Amino acid sequence: MTALTSTALVTGGSRGIGKAIAETLAQDGYQVYLTYVSKPQEAEAVAAQIQARGGQAKAFPLNVGNAEAVTRFFAEEIKEKVDLAVLVNNAGITKDGFLVRMKDEDFDAVLQINLRGAFICMREAAKIMTRQRHGRIINISSVVGQMGNAGQMNYTAAKAGLLGMTKSAAKELASRSITVNAVAPGFIETDMTASLSEEVRKTYEEAIPLKRMGSAQDVANAVAFLASDRAAYITGQILAVNGGIYC
């Protein structure tokens, strides 16, 4: 029987933190499957860049909030076709607003993608990894899931829920040599933070003990560590990548 290719699945891997994670895991020798919802050209460009550097990568359209689509994707593209070594739940959206003005649909949409979507992907990955008796699941949470943030009740709830799911899944899957951990980034230089005014940016930087925002690569490095053999005895943990803003 031909050995299956060791593969890392990165949801939301076409830009920002997801892009950096996909590129870093490819450098570490994984075939990378990255998913996207919109802008296929960006996702294909990431895959092409990885291939140009000698790595292996494929881009797939996938809305993680659609349970049927996720189940079909795992059945058609993952199960018995690759060795699913790593799942990185990175896909997410924001629909910010203060509590008294937040619409029900905005609250539900964020939890549907950021929390339920991660749950569905974990469930389908766990079915495969359990049979393989190995695997790494890494959930991308956020510092706001630990400390809260005004105007982001939906996003904060989803990211806090992801931490709880991480700890529960770690206990359930450890006997099958599957580790489950979370990375909680702080304020990171991304497309979303690029739109901040200079005044707001300065306020954030002054509140961070290291006096700078983090980079997407800082987060990718943490994910790569948790995906590696060096983290084989680490599970159920939250690795904060936040410059010391929340300890």
Residue 100 Cα to chain centre, angstroms: 29
CA distance 16 to 23: 11
Beta-bridge mates of residue 97: 152
Strand 178-185 to 238-241 pairing: parallel
| Residue from 33, 155, 204, 246 carrying the catalytic annotation | 155
Q: Is 155 a residue of the active site?
A: yes
User: What is the DSSP annotation of 20-58?
Assistant: HHHHHHHHTT-EEEEEESS-HHHHHHHHHHHHHTT-EEE
DSSP-derived letter for residue 4 is P
- Are 137 and 125 a contacting pair, CB within 8 Å? yes
Rounded to whole angstroms, the Cα distance separating 125 from 238 reads 20
| Residues tagged active-site | 155
